[in-house]
Amino acid sequence: MPSNKSVSDAPIVQFTNCRILRDHQLQREDLWVREGKILNPEKLFFDEKGSADVQLDCKDSIIAPGFIDVQINGGFGVDFSLATDDFKSGIDLVSQKILSHGVTSFCPTLVTSPPSVYHQVLPQISVRNGGAHGAGILGAHLEGPFISKEKKGAHPEHCLRTFEAGAFQDLLATYGSLDGVQIVTLAPEMRRSSEVIQELTKRGICVSLGHSVANLSQAEEAVQHGATFITHLFNAMLPFHHRDPGIVGLLTSDKIPAGRRVFYGMISDGIHTNPAALRIAHRAHPKGLVLVTDAIAGMGLAPGRHTLGQQVVEIDGLNTYIAGTKTLSGSVATMDTCVRHFQEATGCSVETALEAASLHPAQLLGIEHKKGTLNYGSDADFLMLNDSLYVQATYIAGEEVWRQDVLGM
């Protein structure tokens, strides 16, 4: 039956023989794509009297939304916290390479740096759609420098800053501009942080709590002022204590404003968080869990010495340390590895594991109407995976941008 092109001349592609992650369940149905969007087949059949121009047999693959990584410091020798002449080609390289990990959108993350670095690097990070050139850029994640000295982790102490009388103006002067900034991680116990959180939230920037010694009431106050995220839960914060659970207590707090959800990032690499801690967090607040890689420049490279902003780090197996110490400094995990480890460690469903890397980060950033789901009308950014959750192919806007070669499958 010929297609009826009254609505659009663009070809319609029908992905058959697959299980689609939709409405939190794997459903055995076909996926229809036109002009980079997920198409409602009922409207196509009944309103347009149309049919597919191309049919693709998915050979019983799982089709899931593309992964969204909201905390990635670099990879493949590229460090987003270093101001280099070829910064743009570096970010292009990373966005290309992470397609094989199933990442279709990401937030390039800068760790605590001198103002000169922000002023040079941030103008070179522009929000853009993904495609054959690589994963889409959703905006920068600025992790620091307004964080706690006691919980600085791998962040250089000499670059840390506090909010002075100007508070928000201090932040603007440090970063130079907030154009293209999507997330800011700060320590909520810092003086004047409340007004900064309110100002950032007003501008549509997600505020995350991290690298902090905040107690629970300070964390709750930050959420009441607009903070919605926790940067790598358990890492670089006070450990859980039964009399004052600190930031971790937000997972079960009864002081969260009605209609608001607190999300939390987890580095599910088997190194940063014991599987038992991962299970505790997931069982306490499953709908808030967002998988992040926190990957550094050494991801995808052999063990040895690499950088994380101003610091030299050493990769030893899957561990990454500040050189000469045992301070963890980011990870070398890939997003698909984190998804598999999360599922294995928690025993959660395949659907839950996949949504922690797609739906939840999209909800955190308020983009779930176009990313993170396979609902009708949303962007056709999706993955084909096998039952063990290994990525077989990555699609952006309905176009194949990466495929596992047959020999490697």
State phi, psi for 41 to the nearest 5 degrees. Answer: -65, -30
Determine how β-strand 229-230 pairs with β-strand 263-267: parallel
Number of residues that make up the chain? 409
Q: Of 69, 79, 269, 294, which one is the catalytic site residue?
A: 294
Q: Is 294 a catalytic residue?
A: yes
Binding residues: 143, 154, 211, 232, 235-236, 243, 272, 328-330
Whether a cis peptide bond, with omega within 30° of 0, leads into 11 is no
C-alpha distances (whole Å) from 27 to each of 52, 172, 351, 353, 374 are: 20, 47, 11, 16, 11
CA dihedral 32, 19, 353, 231 (to 10 degrees): 0
Binding residues for Zn(2+): 143, 211, 232
Determine how β-strand 103-111 pairs with β-strand 140-143: parallel
Binding residues for substrate: 154, 235-236, 243, 272, 328-330
Q: Strand runs (DSSP E) across 73-149, as ranges?
A: 74-75, 78-79, 103-111, 136-137, 140-143
Q: Among candidates 177, 180, 167, 269, which has minimal Cα distance to 225? A: 167
Q: Among candidates 69, 152, 131, which has minimal Cα distance to 327? A: 152
Known catalytic residues? 294
